[in-house]
Structure 1
Amino acid sequence: MYQETDRPQIHYSPSAGFMNDPNGLFVDDDGLFHLYFQYNPNQTVAGNQHWGHATSKDGYAWDNHPIALAPEKAGEGIFSGSIVVDRNNTSGFFGDDVKPGDRVIAIYTLNTEDNQTQDIAYSKDGGYTFTKYERNPVIDLKTTQFRDPKVFWDEQNSHWVMAVAHPQSYEVGFYTSSDLKSWQETSRFSGGLWGYQFECPGLVQIPIVGGPRNGEKMWTLLVSINPGAPLGGSVQQYFFGDFSNGKFTANDTAVRFADFGKDFYAAQTYFNAPQGQAIIQGWASNWQYTQVAPTARGDSGWRSAQSLPRTMTARWTQYNPMYNGYQLSMEPLPFGTLAGAELARPAKSNTTVQLKGDGAFDVRATFAVPADAKNAETARLRVKTRGGDFLDIGALVKPGDPATIYTDRRKAGVTFADTNSFFTDRASVAVMPLRRDPADAKSDQLIDLHVVVDRTLTEVFAQNGTVSASTLTYWDNNEVPSSLQVGLSSKDITLESLSVKPIASTWKHCASY
């Protein structure tokens, strides 16, 4: 189990069945990450929704636990939601014998054929077993389109705040409560790209890096869309703004996406993340093809993985030569001792690195183009199998134009792609090159690529993490990546640095309880 060639080795995936949205993310007082997730334990397609549960000491090596929340009647589903730690027992569910850090409450959507309500359940053992509140639901609007509550504690006003989707009116509703049982609506927000419907909202404060607000926090509203993404299917957008008096106000009307790849959706932040960090994790798939992914055949096998856990900041960024502003920046949590010794540190030229390990690799590359370059230049990282399939991650730098960061999976296993019209080949995003001397616009242009390759799932972070892309690749003939090729268009673009480290499989010591 967990050693299949198409299974990622450092991303969480279920042992069997179908998984989608991450739910109830929190970090307990012992520093243990708790990941709950939408889960169908009996089939490899969506339906019969439960909350699965896994825990990890570092966000990478996960242990499986029994199902945390299950429907009680036929036709019901435990849909997406969140978890909080009710340290001060505002809910009244806990006696003095329950440690403050073990006072865990899940807030979720109960889905039935004719209604969606917001319900709660409480745990006295730190989130392993739950008792559903006998007076559920806590919010009932008598509608089939009302779901995915994300709750946090508002320190300034000493109450709980819920962000929840009104999907097909394209609104995020905000509610407040003193006890997690009685809720009052305070406002609604609508904006950005609409698509077909809104899902899985979340409001969080993230650290600000650089610019006039360096060191402060930025209110950030996450909203998922499905279907209706520019590349098709599902996508997540975000808004920077202000939250006061129960109302979120966006700073501007811009549409910004959390990830320019096709396989990042319904991402949620961890409650009680350590050291003031904002840590986010998303579902690494897309509704256009997830239910036919070749990791399962019929009801045997498994489908879907979660993204790497990522830290979030609002980073001061140059959008174009005339505009600077804040942009969401994400980077994976450090791999620590999972990362092995360098596989190669080659010279500044085209080169090939043999990928030896368990199938997961941490790749960091920086490319430089002279400021006075006359021609368009390209730099490419090609992840290749022995059979010749390949995934390209690269950059195009044109004089006087923004650079383009791209992913191209059209040759990364053609069997699945040829049978699914929605498995979009390519994705790209425009960025401003970094400068060797940030204060000198005439200094060399730099492209920074951080790529995490994990068998069938690759995540790209570029330009200090201000753009990211999550990309699935279903390699032919059960192969895995075997080499990394660096390709440069001419001598005018140079490989400044390259680091390639194997990452050890985290499934070797996985426990199931």
Structure 2
Amino acid sequence: MKETIKKYLLPLSGYMLFLFYGGTAFAQNNEAAAYSELYRPQFHFSPKKGWIGDPCGFTYYGGKYQMYWWGKVVSDDLVHYEELKPNVMTGDDGSIGYFTGSMLIDRENTAGFGKDAYVAAYTIFNKQSKNQSQGISYSQDGETFHYYKGNPVLDIGSTEFRDPTVFWHAGTKQWVMVVAKALEKKIKFYGSKDLKSWTWLSDFGPAGAQEKAWECPDLFQLPVNGNVKDKRWVMVVSIDWAREQYFIGNFDGKTFTLSADHSKEPLYVDQGLDFYASRTFQDYDGTLKNTPSMGWIATWDYAQLVPSTWGKGFWSIARNLELKTYPEGLRLVQKPIDNLKQLRGSVQSANYEVPKGTQPLRAFQPTENVYEMEIIFNTSKPNLFGLNLCVGEGRKLGLSYETTTGLLTIDRTNCAEEKIEKFARKTSAKVMPVNGQLRMHFFVDKSSVELFTNDGKEVFTMLTYPGEHQAGIETFARDTGTEVSMKAWKLKSVWKYKN
């Protein structure tokens, strides 16, 4: 990767990177072949063509999930998607780019753009000076946004100041902006009554993992163990252009403070290789019973280099977030939304002892990497066992588990059909059995795998890019004696439902 790209593109939103690459580069798809291209996800959202990066402006409003990457997509169920526009922003003079940000609905017309106006808050990237400041655009329909002539609304003269999340804090009756000072590893809090004039409130950080950079902060409340009368604030921060960490604490409208029982070690949202810049949905209808979130399945080392032909990038499946208490403390839990079950075909199931050595998984033999699988291993007998996914043509994605250490290792060093620079990697994390069982819930799509272990306590997300003939599944074990039960479903393509 060229140094200039690293310096100026790593922190950018998906829309801005698309501008740098040139919007016509991916515009040659045959219309009839759209959504069936090689590596195109079949139940994840990706735009019809072009680049998509960080999720922006996630809101639930008017009975719809509304999502932006400064293009716009809507959904009724976070399973099927309708892409409305590839670019919603208008009115700037061409000297700036729109980086990552958020969306709000101004119910009381605090900014003067009209009651219930959509207001996008984002980072303004000055193409000449590289300065990063915060700006706003407004809209009446949520599809055409007008650049506010008084921009920027917040400028501290920094080239590393980005990715605002803005929300209404009822307790202090003000808008709160949560924004990253990237290389200082700080999250800055600002308050405003009108979205145009902002006052500094406090800083948080550095804390937790703080090696390279912080960006894309999100701040939201979750009940503890399902008790709506006991809520904590959770702050998610993307770090090092590669992964996310989270903090559990309290927010009084001015200052975020860690809970007394917050872990002394960094807490990571996802233990895999490719999950970044996730956002929760702000519920302006006040009707959601869960807190759904979606992230970008990518890592900046190779996000621009992946071999997809329609464009680059896609988002994760939607996950409902919870806080649960475990012996080691309070932890963030992620569960796939139930609406995904509507994509299931007929179930295939089996119960048996895992054979010694490596064997094909005969109970379920998909012909393509578009499936869901739940598999439970009994860990009472010491063993090394696991699964190979995306098997074929001498390649595979290996997942191995060692019962004596509790270490789950994922090996992607020989999975992708095409050579991608810096893509051949491994990742490991401790995953402790629950009641003598290791529970693994897979969502496998054309170019990715999302694994939820132990009901979402640990999650592993990774890109794969296997060949079309790499759809095999194998089990392996060092010794005999490991019992396993499984259920699996082929999944329908969400694009078959496109209008």
**Pairwise TM-score range, normalised by the shorter structure:** 0.7 to 0.9
8 Å CA contact 2:135, 2:154 repeated in 1:
yes
Q: Give a deviation string over 1:66-108, Cα, whole Å, max 9, x none.
A: 211258344421000001122222222215xxxx4xx321111
Residue 415 of structure 1: how far off its partner (Å): 3.5
Structure 2 distance, partners of 1:384, 1:353, is: 16
Is it true that 1:509 corresponds to 2:492 in the alignment? no
Q: Give a deviation string over 1:202-226, Cα, whole Å, max 9, x none.
A: 111123227xx78622211111123
Pick the aligned partner of 1:309 from 291, 294, 318: 318
**Match for residue 500 of structure 1?**
488
Q: Give a deviation string over 1:362-400, Cα, whole Å, max 9, x none.
A: 111111122xx4x3x1331222344342212342211xx
Identity of aligned residues (%): 29
Residue 357 of structure 1: how far off its partner (Å): 6.7
Residue 459 of structure 1: how far off its partner (Å): 0.5
**Match for residue 206 of structure 1?**
222
Structure 1 distance, partners of 2:268, 2:351, is: 35
8 Å CA contact 1:358, 1:504 repeated in 2:
no
Q: Aligned-residue CA RMSD in angstroms?
A: 2.1
Q: Could you tell me which runs of 5 or more consecutive residues in structure 1 were left unpaired when the two chains were aligned.
A: 38-50, 228-233, 319-323, 436-444
Pick the aligned partner of 2:49 from 16, 24, 28: 16
Residue 489 of structure 1: how far off its partner (Å): 3.7
Q: Give a deviation string over 1:234-264, Cα, whole Å, max 9, x none.
A: 1111111111241011234431111111111
* Change over 3 Å in CA distance of 1:471–1:215 after alignment to 2: farther
**Match for residue 43 of structure 1?**
none
**Match for residue 330 of structure 2?**
326
8 Å CA contact 2:73, 2:81 repeated in 1:
yes
Residue 406 of structure 1: how far off its partner (Å): 2.4
**Match for residue 479 of structure 2?**
490
Structure 2 distance, partners of 1:221, 1:86, is: 23
**Match for residue 235 of structure 2?**
221
Residue 470 of structure 1: how far off its partner (Å): 0.9
Structure 1 distance, partners of 2:231, 2:297, is: 27
Residue 111 of structure 1: how far off its partner (Å): 0.6
8 Å CA contact 2:90, 2:147 repeated in 1:
no
Residue 132 of structure 1: how far off its partner (Å): 2.1
Pick the aligned partner of 1:344 from 342, 349, 359: 349
8 Å CA contact 2:91, 2:147 repeated in 1:
no
Is it true that 1:242 corresponds to 2:274 in the alignment? no
* Change over 3 Å in CA distance of 1:412–1:167 after alignment to 2: same
* Change over 3 Å in CA distance of 1:414–1:509 after alignment to 2: closer
**Match for residue 65 of structure 1?**
84
Is it true that 1:106 corresponds to 2:120 in the alignment? yes
**Match for residue 87 of structure 1?**
107
**Match for residue 473 of structure 1?**
464
Q: How does 1:20-419 map to 2 (within 5 A)?
A: 20-30=53-63, 32-37=64-69, 51-66=70-85, 67-69=87-89, 72-95=92-115, 100=116, 103-112=117-126, 113-114=128-129, 115-125=131-141, 127-190=142-205, 191-209=207-225, 216-227=230-241, 234-251=242-259, 252=262, 253-272=264-283, 274-296=287-309, 301-318=310-327, 324-334=328-338, 335-350=340-355, 351-356=361-366, 359-370=369-380, 373=381, 375=382, 377-398=383-404, 401=405, 403-413=406-416, 415-417=418-420
Structure 2 distance, partners of 1:414, 1:3, is: 18
Please report the TM-score for the alignment, with normalisation by the length of structure 2: 0.85
Q: Could you tell me which runs of 5 or more consecutive residues in structure 2 were left unpaired when the two chains were aligned.
A: 1-33, 356-360
Please report the TM-score for the alignment, with normalisation by the length of structure 1: 0.83
Structure 2 distance, partners of 1:310, 1:480, is: 29
**Match for residue 25 of structure 2?**
none
* Change over 3 Å in CA distance of 1:8–1:491 after alignment to 2: same
Q: Secondary structure at the match of 1:411?
A: coil
Residue 33 of structure 1: how far off its partner (Å): 1.5
Counterpart of 1:224, as a letter, is S
Q: Give a deviation string over 1:183-218, Cα, whole Å, max 9, x none.
A: 2111001112223221111111123227xx786222
Q: Give a deviation string over 1:466-511, Cα, whole Å, max 9, x none.
A: 1111111122xx415533333344333211x211011111112335
Q: Secondary structure at the match of 2:53?
A: strand
Structure 2 distance, partners of 1:472, 1:247, is: 37
Pick the aligned partner of 1:447 from 438, 447, 462: 438
Counterpart of 1:121, as a letter, is S
Moved more, 267-276 or 177-186: 267-276
Structure 2 distance, partners of 1:246, 1:480, is: 54
